[in-house]
Amino acid sequence: NAGVTQTPKFQVLKTGQSMTLQCAQDMNHEYMSWYRQDPGMGLRLIHYSVGAGITDQGEVPNGYNVSRSTTEDFPLRLLSAAPSQTSVYFCASSSSLAGPRDEQYFGPGTRLTVT
Amino acid sequence: AQKITQTQPGMFVQEKEAVTLDCTYDTSDPSYGLFWYKQPSSGEMIFLIYQGSYDQQNATEGRYSLNFQKARKSANLVISASQLGDSAMYFCAMREGLAAGNKLTFGGGTRVLVKP
């Protein structure tokens, strides 16, 4: 059981480039989400999904796209990278069967730098 | 307005002593859940403890306990018998609504450094 995996671990982009951060989980969790963590701050929700084919915006969605074609995968696309998107990105998943105490399982994070 | 406020940016604690990390929250939803996560220097997020808004008793998980004061909208984390491995960032988070989901709002965190 690998849990939540994220690739790549590190990435450097130039302004204007696009890329996709990968997130996969093998726990058959319905819920998945993407957060960003800026230096010295807490996590902020970018996008989330309650199941395959269903996504919605979080607190800071601008500049990012998501799709959820399978239960396992939830990629995050940066359309045109900007220095303000320099951050650590965390993917998380949780199960609807957990009830209110829905512990979120976090991936190890992707550290992105945009120059 | 901030939904989750952690007013202590950093604190020192002596090994084997207890430490209390403050968290206040703001919501008009009567149904909510409060979480605490630990983030060591390696960067991963580790779930510590959960408190539901309708839970009658304060949550406890090993050395972690939550001092839940609903009327004051506070959910302070107490770590007893601190260990060197407790040195980390600690985040308070809230989910509004009872239905399980993955939308958490995080506070800014408190850095704890345990001194030997």
The pLDDT tens digits for A73-110 are 999 999 999 999 999 999 999 887 766 677 889 999 99
Q: Which residues of B are less than 8 Å from A58 in CB distance?
A: 103
What residues have CB less than 8 Å from A78, skipping those under 6 apart?
A13, A18, A19, A20, A21, A63, A64, A85, A112
Give per-residue pLDDT as tens, A17-26: 999 999 999 9
- Asked if A71 reaches chain B (Cβ–Cβ under 8 Å), the answer is no
pLDDT of residue A1: 72
What's the farthest any 2 CA atoms get from each other in chain B?
Answer: 42
Chain mean pLDDT for chain B? 93
Mutate to test the interface with A, among B60, B104, B105 (most CBs of A within 10 A): B104
pLDDT at B100: 52
SS3 labels along A31-79: EEEEEEECCCCCEEEEEEEEECCEEEECCCCCCEEECCCCCCECCEEEC
Interface residue B106 vs chain A (CB under 8 A): yes
B68 touches A at CB < 8 Å: no
Task: Report chain B residues whose CB lies below 8 A from the CB of A102.
Answer: 33, 95, 100-102
Q: Count the Cβ atoms, other than its own, within 10 Å of residue A69.
A: 10
d(CA A82, CA A38): 14
Query: How close, in Å, is residue A39 to chain B by CA atoms?
Result: 10
